[in-house]
Amino acid sequence: MTFGKRNGPPTGATAPSFSPPRPAPSFAIGEEAAIAAAVAPTLVPALAPAQAASYMPLDPYLVRERLEESRARLAARHEEKSRRAKERVAQAEIRPFCLIPETLWTGQWAELLSARLGLFPHDDWNIAFLAADEASAVLLDLPAHPGTPAATDEIERYLAEAELQLATGYADAERARNFSQYAQEREEIRDKLVRLARKVLFAIDEAWARSKQDAED
């Protein structure tokens, strides 16, 4: 993952640390079905707590380390979810789906998302486990994996706003030598991204509910 030069906090600044982000509520698809309850995604157990002063960007080494940790956790979760699904229905397959698409984590917004916000594409809050195909969707009563990323226009607009907000907020905090407000703004941005991910999942769930209703009619 590469990061270009962007407006943001200098790496040499120091300031007191701040409390970790608040956990967000959870949401699971198909809670009424026993099979779905066994494999359905949980959004969001918690955001990963900041490991340094919350305004400080992660250096490239830590970004790579955290990314690998995120991938390893996803692999373990996928294995567990698959095992539980097959215990219920041997033919069923599930696949992880990035709610905020991976394409946004490797391009223009990579530095903002990972280095400055401390978020990674395979973190729990950004992953929904969906049926791998239509047959598995019926067997598990889960939405089928869409195969392509979700629409990103709204997410990208918010990322552009967030980047400007962080740059302006840091400049104000540095002048005042008080980073409390900046830290709060950063956590609010992280929380909003979680809500956007949840919105994508709701849309997938609603489309699945409509398709089941259409099939019954």
pLDDT in tens, 22-42: 333 333 333 334 444 444 444
**Chain segment 124-151, per-residue pLDDT in tens:** 999 999 999 999 999 999 999 998 887 8
Question: What pTM was estimated for this model as a whole?
Answer: 0.75
Q: Which ranges in 89-179 belong to alpha helices (H)?
A: 110, 134-140, 153-176
pLDDT for 48: 52
Cα separation of 100 and 196, whole Å?
Answer: 8
User: What value does the mean pLDDT of the chain take?
Assistant: 80
pLDDT for 17: 34
Phi and psi angles of residue 147, each rounded to the nearest 5 degrees, phi first: 85, -30
Q: Above 70 in pLDDT, residue 198?
A: yes
Cα separation of 164 and 173, whole Å?
Answer: 14
- Higher pLDDT: 13 or 150? It is 150
Whole-angstrom CA distances from 88 to 84, 96, 115, 145 are 7, 18, 40, 19
